[in-house]
Amino acid sequence: MEGVPHKNPVVAGILSGIVPGLGQFYCRQWMKGTGFLIGALIADAGFGASAGFLQLFENLKDGTSPPDAGAILLRSLPLLIIAIWSVVDAVRTAQRSQTGAALPSSG
């Protein structure tokens, strides 16, 4: 990878763990990072994972019976899958930058 500095796989993984796509941005894969970010936002909005967890935590804080926690966890699976995929991809991309292996062009 000519002209692109070596990227730290740990940093790339942590960034993608915080927000899917950030690790790809760190590795200068702009289109792939945008795809992960938009995919995570769509999955969250479509399945209501964040809203469900906020409601669950609010109920736990108040000491009331939580809503169907199983349904909330099930609805969060698509977002979790995208997040894990983003972390793994960011780490692998950063590792390839250290070995000098050619990366496919992604934008």
pLDDT tens digits, one per residue of 32-79:
999 999 999 999 999 888 888 888 888 888 888 777 878 888 889 999
* The pLDDT of residue 102: 54
* The pLDDT of residue 1: 43
pTM: 0.78
pLDDT tens digits, one per residue of 82-100:
999 999 999 999 999 888 6
Give domain limits for the chain: 9-98
Encode 5-44: b = buried (16+ Cβ within 10 Å), e = exposed. Answer: eebbbebbbbbbbebbbbbbbbbbbeebbebbbebbeebb
pLDDT tens digits, one per residue of 9-45:
999 999 999 999 999 999 999 999 999 999 999 999 9
